[in-house]
Amino acid sequence: MPPALSLAGGIGVCPPKEPVMNRAVGIVLCIIGVIGLAWGGVNYKTQDTVVNIGPVRATREQTHHIPFPPVAGGLVLLGGIALLIASKK
């Protein structure tokens, strides 16, 4: 086979993409872990209709919280760091 078509490390063979992918996933996990540790959860608001009688309408706004435990944020951060270290080897 000519060198450009060789599959065993010859010229023209693309490098493996696993280290690049591991690094990208590691960076994303680190960012999610830091955000999880900093904020501790997500808040959002909903509006509910309480009374709807003809032209009279009463609504209430309710705040909901989805917690993100600090332990989970720390584990995600450690997983991201582990992937970054593994991608450098």
- pLDDT given at position 42: 81
Looking at the domain assignment, is residue 42 inside a domain? yes
In whole angstroms, what is the distance from residue 4 CA to residue 14 CA? 11
Domain that holds residue 67: 17-88
- pLDDT of 64 > 50? The answer is yes
In whole angstroms, what is the distance from residue 81 CA to residue 88 CA? 11
Looking at the domain assignment, is residue 52 inside a domain? yes
pTM to 2 decimals? 0.57
| Residue whose tokens read 């872990």 | 33
- 47 close to 63: Cβ distance less than 8 angstroms: no
Looking at the domain assignment, is residue 24 inside a domain? yes
- pLDDT given at position 1: 45
In whole angstroms, what is the distance from residue 68 CA to residue 74 CA? 11
Q: Stretch 53-71: mean pLDDT, rounded? A: 90
Looking at the domain assignment, is residue 23 inside a domain? yes
* Domains of the chain: total: 1
pLDDT, tens digit (0-9, with 9 covering 90-100), for 1-60: 444 444 554 555 555 667 778 899 999 999 999 988 888 888 899 999 889 898 888 999
